[in-house]
Amino acid sequence: MLSGIDSHIYKSLLSPSVPVASVWQLGTVGNKLHPDICDAVCLHLGLTREMIQAHREKYRLDSSEAWEMSQYGIHNISLLLRWLNMAGSQATLDKLCESLHYADVQLDMYNFLFDPITSRHPTDLELVQLAVQLHSIPWVLTHLCCPMGFQHHDVLCWERTDPGGTWFQVHAMLEDWRNKFGGEATVVKLCGQLHDGGVAPDKYWFLCHEEPKSFEG
């Protein structure tokens, strides 16, 4: 049970219909935390020390080194998404908030989770950056067309319209995605669809911010 914080803040989260944490919400939390703190959060969520150590070795993290947002953020997001994949419908916002509170994370670092306002839309620059990250994935258009709401004949259209290379085709897909979903084309939807399409968070971690952030690395 959470304590020491105004109860009305958690009113919506502690109802019977608590929503599952979104990929974007987990990513935004992950980008804000030091990896040692994120490890403590994930332990409380149910991940094992062995899982966490394996992630540290994968990303070659050293607690004595300076905190680099991209490297550490990707580590954190990967761990939190591991919890999402493991817990499924039980990966709720109230459990996430309980674990953040347990790890003594300051409320102002995750109070965006309580904001009912629709999330922001990706900027033109973010879509360009995302195309740069995605175009190196083999068969990326084929793999992502269905998770992003398209059909396979759309792939042929992108390939014919933009024969100059995969980057142009991926960018065309992202522009069509934005036009297709209009007001619903938010970073929450985009990150969720990328995750459903099997894209690793190192390709889209920079989308997971409350305000647009320039691409680094």
Contacts of 54 (CB under 8 A, 6+ apart): none
Span 124-207 CATH architecture: Orthogonal Bundle (1.10)
Concatenating the DSSP letter of every residue in the chain gives ---SS-GGGGTTTTSTTPPBPPHHHHHHHHHHS-HHHHHHHHHHHT--HHHHHHHHHHTT--TTSPPPHHHHHHHHHHHHHHHHHHHGGG-BHHHHHHHHHHTT--GGGTGGGG--SPPPPPPHHHHHHHHHHHTTSTTHHHHHHTTTT--HHHHHHHHHH-TT-HHHHHHHHHHHHHHHHGGG--HHHHHHHHHHTT--GGGTGGG-SSS------
Q: pTM value? A: 0.86
Is the pLDDT assigned to residue 215 strictly greater than 70? no
Is the pLDDT assigned to residue 188 strictly greater than 90? yes
Highest mean pLDDT among 5-9, 77-81, 114-118: 77-81
**CB 4: neighbour CB atoms within 10 A?**
6
Q: State how far the Cα of 52 lies from the Cα of 79, in Å rounded to an integer.
A: 7
Query: What pLDDT, in 10s, does the model give residues 60-112?
Result: 655 555 555 677 889 999 999 999 999 999 999 999 999 999 999 999 999 99
Q: What is the pLDDT of residue 169?
A: 93
Which of 55-59, 194-198, 209-213 is predicted with the least confidence, judged by mean pLDDT?
55-59
Strand partners, 92: 20
Please compute the mean of the pLDDT values over residues 179-200 and round it to a whole number: 96
Q: State how far the Cα of 97 lies from the Cα of 200, in Å rounded to an integer.
A: 24
Is the pLDDT assigned to residue 26 strictly greater than 90? yes
Q: What is the pLDDT of residue 37?
A: 96
Query: What pLDDT, in 10s, does the model give residues 154-178?
Result: 999 998 877 767 899 999 999 999 9
Q: Which CATH class is domain 7-114?
A: mainly alpha
Residue type, 23: V
Query: What pLDDT, in 10s, does the model give residues 129-150?
Result: 999 999 999 889 999 999 999 9
Domain boundaries, the chain: 7-114, 124-207
The answer to whether the 7-114 and 124-207 domains have the same CATH topology is: yes
- Are the C-beta atoms of 98 and 45 separated by less than 8 Å? no
Q: What is the pLDDT of residue 54?
A: 87
Q: What is the pLDDT of residue 62?
A: 55
Q: State how far the Cα of 192 lies from the Cα of 183, in Å rounded to an integer.
A: 16
